[in-house]
Amino acid sequence: MYSFKNDYSEGAHPRILNALLESNLVQDEGYGEDQFSREAIDLLKQKIGRTDVDIHLLSGGTQTNLTAISAFLRPHEAAIAASTGHILGHETGAIEATGHKILSVAVDNGKLSPTDIQAVLDLHTDEHMVKPKLVYISNSTEIGTIYYKNELEQLSDFCRKNNLYLYMDGARLGSALCSEESDLTLSEISALVDAFYIGGTKNGALLGEALVICLESLKEDFRYHIKQKGGLLAKGRLLGIQFLELFRDNLFFEIAFHANKMADLLKNELVKENYTFLTHSPSNQIFPILPNAIITELQSKYAFHIWEKVDADYAAIRLVTSWATKEEAVAAFINDIRRL
């Protein structure tokens, strides 16, 4: 049984484990004030090409989202998210648990546009309703699509004109940036959004996300919020060492390229076999639509999620690739598809 279920099925990229081993006995400060974390943050700033951002290392995506969003918003302010947004339906009400409503917009492709947001603003006009204040987007999205530069520019422009914060969940930002369709860089993203995070967990780390706060007014006292929400690891070095290794010489991007390449291999072969896809996803998640009978056959050898029924005979499945996805496994899967 080989798993294409997600991009967190294995441990960490071997170089990361090695970095942990090599630094293991060095004594250093706790709570992210160690040399490794400081260096990792400096390195990230270099990669982004800016020194005027604040960067914090946190342990996971939900933790990062809830800490950031609750720190940024006042009690009556709400987030806007696509109907597929991770914070909306897959974080057990984490944002609401900090007191904030999420206003959702039904979209097909996982992405928000100014038109979508304007529709929400039009409905929220007075103090009997929450005040929309933060736009939450994911890149790549929960269904594998990515934002293009012009889309993000339009969103950014719209948010600034409407006094909204633009926040990007980058759990799979590596894959988005390394997509062959991508026309965005870390630096450009930092100029267009008010805060975003660079996901480590789903891109080779054991755990860890690097939150980048770009907007000056959102920076103050952020470490208090991390501590209050339980995210300040005593051995914060664990995060620092990993991000240092990921960005020391572009391992982060190599990992994402590999994951995307494996997904592309799968996709291209499925296209050749005339299969269609639920979404146009140029990243490490693909959603081919297969006949139920073939899905059942595949399940005997491969683990994956059945994403949604398409009709009585067909369903979309989700295949996810990662740093650990082996080319042989992809080849075997393709052979099985061809055979079936």
Please give the residues from 68 up to 97 whose contact with a copy of itself meets the rule CB under 8 A.
70-71, 74-76, 78, 89-94, 96-97
Nearest approach in angstroms of CB 46 to a copy of itself is 25
How far apart are alpha carbons 57 and 241 in whole angstroms? 11
- H and E: helices and strands count for the chain: 14, 13
* Residue 298 touching a copy of itself (CB under 8 A): no
* Residue 292 touching a copy of itself (CB under 8 A): no
Of residues 302 through 321, those in contact with a copy of itself by CB under 8 A are 303
Nearest approach in angstroms of CB 95 to a copy of itself is 8
Task: Mark 204-223 with x for binding to a copy of itself (rule: CB under 8 A) and - for no binding.
Answer: --xx-------------x-x
Nearest approach in angstroms of CB 26 to a copy of itself is 7
- Which are the contacts of 94, defined by CB distance < 8 A and separation ≥ 6? 62, 65, 66, 87
How far apart are alpha carbons 31 and 6 in whole angstroms? 30
Cβ density class 224-250: b for 16+ within 10 Å, e for less: ebbeebebbbeebbbbbbbbbbbbeee
* Residue 101 touching a copy of itself (CB under 8 A): yes
Instruction: Return the number of other C-beta atoms located less than 10 Å from residue 108's C-beta.
Output: 12
Nearest approach in angstroms of CB 178 to a copy of itself is 20
| Count of residues that interact with a copy of itself, criterion CB under 8 A | 78
Q: Return the range that interacts with a copy of itself (CB under 8 A); candidates 8-16, 148-156, 243-251, 252-260.
A: 8-16
Report cis status (omega within 30 of 0) of the bond before 140. yes
Q: Return the range that interacts with a copy of itself (CB under 8 A); candidates 10-18, 136-144, 155-163, 175-183.
A: 10-18
How far apart are alpha carbons 296 and 107 in whole angstroms? 30
